[in-house]
Amino acid sequence: MLKQFSSVIIGLTAFILVILVSSSIYIVDETKQVFVTRFGKIIGDTINSKAEGESEAGLYFRVPFIDKVHSFEKRYLEWDGDPEEVATRSKVMIEINTYARWRINDAKIFYKAVRNEDQAKTRLDDLLDGAARTVIAAHDLVEVIRSHQREAAQPITENAGETQTELEPFTKGRSALAQEVIASVKGKLNSEFGIELLDFRFKRINYTEQVRQEIFKRMISERTRVASKFRSEGDGEAAKIKGQQERELKTIQSKAYLLQQQIRGGADAKAVAIYAEAYNQSPESREFYEFLKTMETYETTLSAQDTLILSTDSDFFRFMKQSTPTKD
């Protein structure tokens, strides 16, 4: 009986020792920085807190059930701001979207100020968004949207109905404004929250929906004006070309008619000469020619509907008077 009781005591003791030993050991990962609190008070230094140099990761001991281990991320963390509308110095409403890179620089200050990363991101929302609004409100739109001085890729010329313009110059630019945001909050984040702000950027900048619609309407109006100018110039040029074509057509027709008349006149003169030569060989041929032409005149001037009252002495009936009626 005594032996059985001793075995139970020994087993229970061993079990308690195993629990105590396992509870007193904790592992520090290379990507984490750790410190220990005892009854809510931080004791000792932060383990593996150096950003560079020899790693302090490994196996460590604590007082079980009394000491509490707090682990924080050592690597770079990302903050992604929500899109928000901001007014520039010239009162132009724009929509910005920002992001930043940060790390926990002092785990003890970070723990006392915000406790965890979720609370830290909430404080970053307030500080970084507020700083971005302040910086943008102090500068014009051109400073926010541009980073480098450059020339227009496709300059607008007078042929397009507009005067040639250059891009508006600026003094700082978007990158410089981002550095101003960093400078305005970096000291406070480091001293009050144990956070090192590594980088801050404007991920996207755009006009608000209302401003975009106004810009689209202005662009449509301008393009319509240019198109109307092109159309008007095209109509004028078309009328000019059409007028030139009509003038050239009339000139060609006039020359063709002149050539036609010249050819016809020459042909008629040649025909008259042939007729004259043919009918001028004897008095009988001349009289026959005169008779033939008179018959042609009767045919072309008289019809069934015409009525002529002429003297019988008229030369028009000279051959009729000379003719002898035939007997049936």
The model's pLDDT over 257-316, given as tens digits with 9 standing for 90+, comes to: 999 999 999 998 888 788 777 777 777 777 777 777 777 777 777 777 777 676 767 666
pLDDT band at 145 (very low <50, low <70, confident <90, very high): confident
Contact between 99 and 129 under an 8 Å Cβ cutoff? The reply is no
Q: Write out pLDDT tens, residues 75-130.
A: 999 999 999 999 999 888 999 999 999 999 999 999 999 999 999 999 999 999 99
- C-alpha 4/C-alpha 262 separation (Å) is 151
Which of 3.40.50.300, 3.10.20.340, 3.30.479.30, 1.10.1200.10 would CATH assign to domain 77-149+169-207?
3.30.479.30
Q: What tokens appear for 242 in the block?
A: 């059409």
Q: Is the dihedral of CA 239, 241, 244, 250 positive or negative?
A: negative
Q: Is the dihedral of CA 311, 312, 315, 320 positive or negative?
A: positive
- C-alpha 319/C-alpha 234 separation (Å) is 71
Spell out the domain ranges in the chain: 2-73, 77-149+169-207
- C-alpha 172/C-alpha 142 separation (Å) is 9
Residues 6+ apart with CB under 8 A from 89: 137, 138, 139, 140
Q: Write out pLDDT tens, residues 301-319.
A: 777 777 767 676 766 666 6
Q: Which residues of 270-293 are buried (b: 16+ CB within 10 A; e: fewer)?
A: eeeeeeeeebeeeeeeeeeeeeee
Between the CA atoms of 5, 10, 16 and 21, what dihedral angle is there, to the nearest 10 degrees? 180
Contact between 91 and 134 under an 8 Å Cβ cutoff? The reply is no
- C-alpha 124/C-alpha 85 separation (Å) is 18
Say what the pTM is. Answer: 0.62
Count the neighbouring beta carbons within 10 Å of the beta carbon of residue 50: 12
In the prediction, which pLDDT does 36 show? 95
- C-alpha 96/C-alpha 132 separation (Å) is 9
